[in-house]
Structure 1
Amino acid sequence: MRRTPLLIALTAAAAFGGFAATAMNELLENRAEAAPATAPVPAPAPLLPVAQPASLPPLVEGQAMPSLAPMLERVMPAVVSVHTQQRVAVRNPFFDDPMFRRLFPQVPQERINESLGSGVIIDAQRGYVMTNHHVVVGADNVSVTLADGRTLKAEFLGSDADTDVALIRIPAQDLKGLPLGDSGQLRVGDYVVAIGNPFGLSQTVTSGIVSAVGRSGIRGLGYQNFIQTDASINPGNSGGALVNLRGELVGINTASLNPRGSMAGNIGLGLAIPSNLARDVVHQLVTTGEVRRGTLGLDTQALDPRLARSLGLAEGQQGALVTQVYADSGAAAAGLKPGDVIVSAGGQRIADPLSLHNFEGLQPVGAKVPLQVLRDGKTLKLDATLREQPRALDGASVDARLAGARLAELPEAQRQARGRGVLVEEVQAGSRAAQNGLRAGDVIGATSAGAVDDLAALRSSLAQPPAQLVLLVTRGNVQGRLPMR
């Protein structure tokens, strides 16, 4: 009688393997990726009579058997399926031939890409649904299917690519929302439950524990302060709920780390965006329609052993060495100076410039941040108020030879891959920048006046325009020098 569950398990494993083999073999399983929309697979008919499962005893040593069912009955109606459609042009060289188009007018020139992800209703009165940015980015149509089977058209309200949080809205009719918990109270070892639609299988529940908090340093995932869990997170889980045992939303499932991609299935390395961070992003999207980030307004570099010795610091000392403080910045107002070493910000340890940059990127404008700084062998405590820096600006405001170009900060995932630079977001046809050969998508990594970490560094280095301006530009996988006349 035990052969039937084994046969069903083998059948399910084979089906999973067939599905998983189609995914890309990447380290990141596309942030847990929205799963391609597929028709549901009918369950195989049992080959042998199925025995009824034996019921569990109501008591064990006088204690009632624990169950997640009562909590899940309250929570699961708030977790939804997010279905997106995107029109994609079909690239075919024959479409450029008018004769071909006349002879074959029925040949489609575009296709519809569909995908499935997950979402969480966080405000039943307003119909707000939180999901991942990568679930809905570029979609022409977004719809939401509720736990009761209703499918509703969704309105896109806004998203933030650098934290992978998006907000959509559906008609608020008999909805059930999920209360947001305090993710800051999570501890390693706490039990959590992930709910979503892995591989298009709606209302799927997996459980595990919090494996780590404050996880960062993962390439390609923007600003990072992740909850790590061993609860299974697979393609289609993106945007789903991570809840505690009280049924409170403590995270938004976003990624699954896997060295072999989907071919290996889930290996217990899932990542979720903390609810406290997601709450702040949603608040900004609702109130302003965009996310504004604060910054200290300084440049830093890594602290290597040679620099540590020259500053009289202990061997192995970690931190971010301040190399430049910009005028009228939060750092300047706080009294930071070049040569200071920032070792803590907002109570978080700062090991290097990347960890400081990641910390800044998760703070709103106006945030008051206590800093712990090493200066001349002494420990100082300073308080800084983060100020807003422009995320994009016209090239002409930096240097006349860049007129016609719109320059922007690198998207955070791209910054982690490249390390530093400024993105050429747009170049007007016929402009001076275009005549000089600059193109949209170029990344400026340095100029003849110095290295370029970000927009602030570019503006600072060109405050005194050099007689000859040469840009070090990365275009695709090619790097070269571009003289600007």
Structure 2
Amino acid sequence: MALFLTLLAALTAFAPPAPPAHAQSFRETLAEYEVVNGYFFTQTGGGAAGELGFGITDEGGIPFWSEYQRLGGPDALGYPVSRRFEWGGFVSQATQKVVLQWRPEEGRAVFVNVLDELTRAGRDEWLLAYRQVPLPAQLPGEETLTFDQVIQARLRLLQESAPLRAAYLRSADPLAENGLPVAPITDVGPALVLRAQRRAFQLWKMDTPFARAGAVTIVNAGDLAKEADLLPDAAEQPEPAGAQVASPPGSNTRVSSDELARLRLVAERARPAVVKLTDGSNSSGTGIIIDAGGLVLTNSHVVTGLNRERLRAVLPDGRSFSGKTLGWDEWTDIAVVQLDVPAQPGATRIELPAVPLGSAQALGVDQRVLALGYSAVFPAPPSAKTGTVRSLSGQIQVDRGYPLFDLIQSDTFIYPGDSGGPLLDLDGRVVGVNSAIQVAFVPRQGRQLTGYSIPVEGALQIAQQLIATGSVPRPYLGITPVDLTPTLAASAGLPVTRGVLIVEVQPNSPAGAAGLVEGDIIAGMDGQPVTGLAALRRLIVRHQVGDQVPFDVLSAGQPRRTVALTLTDRPPLV
């Protein structure tokens, strides 16, 4: 079974493609993604593998994220390059191209006159030498003009260059975005430069590594403010991606500052006990340390997808321990791994961090939950993602696996690699083990995610049996089955196009005792049609060891017949 958390693509008719911002494959790390109250961008964080970045949010009643979108987003403003800070008594945040400032009296964000601020800071000579932006100039007689006359006089400076004038006027509100010109257009050698209050425009007279002759470029005012040390040092420090709480794409999740702080605290406390399970290959999954002795709860499909001889658990602090799989149960997708935790000097065993266990029965619909896991989609795993409970009776069948019932269904943004990770309540207790996700592309709504988690009570019940005996009694047929498809049926000249084809019968098995052989086709069970392996497993989970079950079977050269099999306990798993 595939190791990664299985993706069920529920494609709606005439569904549009996913938005370009989210059109990455599952093995690619997102450069930007939705978080609670806003968005997180790693493009300007400077960290390796996207581990650092800057968030822009609507927290604290200051809607910078909403304003950022209204004003044009990354295309118009560039990516954020700072955290929030105070400038001139107002909350501000820098992006590459501007510095946003929240003005409560206007109920909106405005652009700071960054180039004027450089003048006040005495950095004009630096700006001329560093970016070839001319010094500001007072126009003759300007002190006698009204403000409207000053505006007109300054705008007349644009007439000296048609390309620069066109670049300045290109925006919907040139004065709001650029401010007034503060100097005549100046020839600085390689370029003609127009300096305005909020931006500078450069018309290049020759080819450069970043612009061809005749092109107009815009000096990024936010980058200038940062480079000129106008921003507080603390504001320039990138935020760790690991501290973010991702939210479902397109959900526009909004919570109070107190609730967000609580989500972050839950993630911070649980993260040390959430491990990456790997065999050293590209495959990996997630596990939960549930006791200090190194007992790990995870999914069956995680451990069966790994080389168990090379199984290791890597903790977020970098420590790594080999692990022994105590058992797994494919019917419930639960497995238990015991870590080999060495003793310290003095024969005292190292105690590992563990996550407290809660109750899925205490959950309610619309209750907020948090998931942690090692999906490669998010930087700095184990990453945290939040969502709300949609149902406590979810059902899913992954590929041709066994169906799972009574699952916690939520819109939490879990992805491949998060399998086996914890679903937590806001008290930081494990309420579920993340198992699968369904993705639907819905017209006019885009991508919708549904996560499925195994309730912790059932998971622990299975885990205790696996710890005690290494297995859970399950009915056993003793065959190696494959789906019979129309293509396979046609190539082999078989009499039916759907069913389960037996490719091997194990010795001393119920199937062998009933006379089934290689090449037989199971077409029905319990009077119900069997159209494939998924259908067979949906029917067999209703039975227990010892049940006598009728099967409809087709054999070469024989009429359809009914065969009774007495189900036995499956042999020990190896």
TM-score normalised according to structure 2 size: 0.42
The structure with higher relative contact order (CA 8 Å, sep 6+) is 2
Q: Could you say which structure has the larger radius of gyration?
A: 2
TM-score normalised according to structure 1 size: 0.49
